[in-house]
Amino acid sequence: MTLNLDSILKKLLAGILVIVILIYAKGFLMPLVIGGILATLFLPFCNKMERIGLGRILSVFISLFGLLAVFGIIISLLSWKISELFSEFDLLKSQAIKTFNQTQAYLFQHFGISLEKQSEIFNSEKPSISGLMKLTAGSLKDLMTNLILILAYFFFLLYSRVHIKQFFLKLAKKDQQNEVEQILKGTTRVSQQYLLGLAKMIVCLWILYSIGFSIIGVKNAVFFAILCGLLEIIPFIGNITGTTITVLIAALHGGNLTLLLGIIITYGIVQFVQGWVLEPLILGPQVKINPLFTIIALIVGDWIWGIPGILLAIPVAAMMKIFCDHIEPLKPFGFLIGEMDTQEKSEQKVKNIFKKIITKAR
């Protein structure tokens, strides 16, 4: 019992030490991890380009341009629709003022808070223009710095991938090198599965939300579909946030109760299709972690690295599961992170149903 307790305490201390390092080394590690995860996505493409004789540098450059093209397309789609929203800025402003006045009247009538007192509260919370400008300038500087670092890490990690792999193999003993290679392959594969599965999921959500929002008559339905789909990168929270924004903007546009309920019903239907059809078919079994640990990973990611930590929480947790599954003392933690038996059985049933449908169709 003493030995087991000592072992548990050592693992807890090691975990605390890792968290402390992650917090204090955020500026260095965050761009490196993002660049590394993105690099794994283009790893098969780079290998294929090299096999047909393009050379490593050219293959990596093509991958870099491909990554920039993906970012450019997403930013262009959002900018195109955001510009349409800004063209209706005056309408939204007048609706917002009307809603604000109605809220003030409600607070006065039901809670007895005078208009003067409400004005004092809002004015006391109002930030200065100079403070906002400094905050914006600092945020843009950090964003550009991190973006350049991510692209640099992406390029050099792809270029040096064989050298880095040999380094990890040399760290292990000869009889453990095969196990280390399996861990490296597993973590790389799970990262690829997550990113590719997420991309497919987002495209499917764009289609589903576009159809649903268009049917019920949401203005700028494509924009809100794109927004809800992109926010899927944050499990559970993302789709709720996107739907809430859609409801609020629709209300500011003067949408009636039927339209607002239609948006919520569309969200529920899409979530049902996503949870019971898309996820079992698109995401690989190694990527999936149980809902409890998903929430824990998101909270810890936000606590350590903020918004980037939320985005990285799921792929990093899935990589941790692969690592734990291959290390004997850590296998219980891999079991804890992974899916529960009931989840696996229900998703397998869904897969079998669709396999039967496809077989009959052929």
Residue ranges of alpha helices (H) inside 217-256 are 221-230, 237-252
Per-residue confidence in pLDDT tens, the chain, 362 aa: 444 666 677 777 877 888 888 888 888 888 898 898 888 888 888 888 888 888 888 989 998 998 888 888 877 776 766 666 665 555 556 655 666 565 656 555 655 555 566 565 555 544 554 554 554 555 667 778 888 899 999 999 999 988 888 888 888 888 778 888 888 888 888 888 888 888 888 888 889 999 988 898 888 788 888 888 888 777 767 777 888 888 888 877 777 788 888 888 988 898 888 877 777 777 656 567 777 888 888 888 888 888 788 888 888 888 888 888 877 777 888 888 887 655 555 555 555 565 566 566 55
Quote the tokens at residue 126: 């109002």
**Neighbour tally for 128: CB within 10 Å:** 8
Give the C-alpha separation, 88 to 46, whole Å: 45
Decide: 218 and 259 in contact? Cβ < 8 Å.
yes
Q: Token pair of 143, please? A: 């964003």
| pLDDT for residue 340 | 67
- 315's CB contacts (< 8 A; 6+ apart) are 37, 190, 191, 194, 195
3-state secondary structure of 338: strand
Which pLDDT belongs to residue 244?
83
**pLDDT score recorded for residue 152:** 92
Please tell me the predicted confidence (pLDDT) of residue 313.
83
Grouping H, G, I as helix, E, B as strand and the rest as coil, residue 109 is: helix
Return all residues near 284 (Cβ < 8 A) that are at least 6 apart: 190, 193, 197
Q: Is 41 exposed, middle or buried (0-12, 13-18, 19+ CB in 10 A)?
A: buried
**Cα distance between residue 11 and residue 9, in whole Å:** 5
Confidence at residue 359, expressed as pLDDT on a 0 to 100 scale? 61
Q: CB neighbours of 206 closer than 8 A, spacing ≥ 6?
A: 225, 226, 229
HEC per residue, 141-185: HHHHHHHHHHHHHHHHHHHCHHHHHHHHHHHCCHHHHHHHHHHHH
Report whether 135 contacts 40 (CB < 8 A): no
pLDDT confidence of residue 86: 61
User: What six digits make up the tokens of 128?
Assistant: 């200065």
Amino acid at 97: I
pTM value > 0.85: no
DSSP per-residue string spanning 346-358: HHHHHHHHHHHHH
Q: Tokens in use for 40? A: 């794994």
Tokens of 256: 């009636």
- The answer for 322, left when phi > 0, alpha when psi is -120 to 50, beta otherwise, is alpha
Q: What is residue 135's predicted lDDT score, i.e. its pLDDT?
A: 47
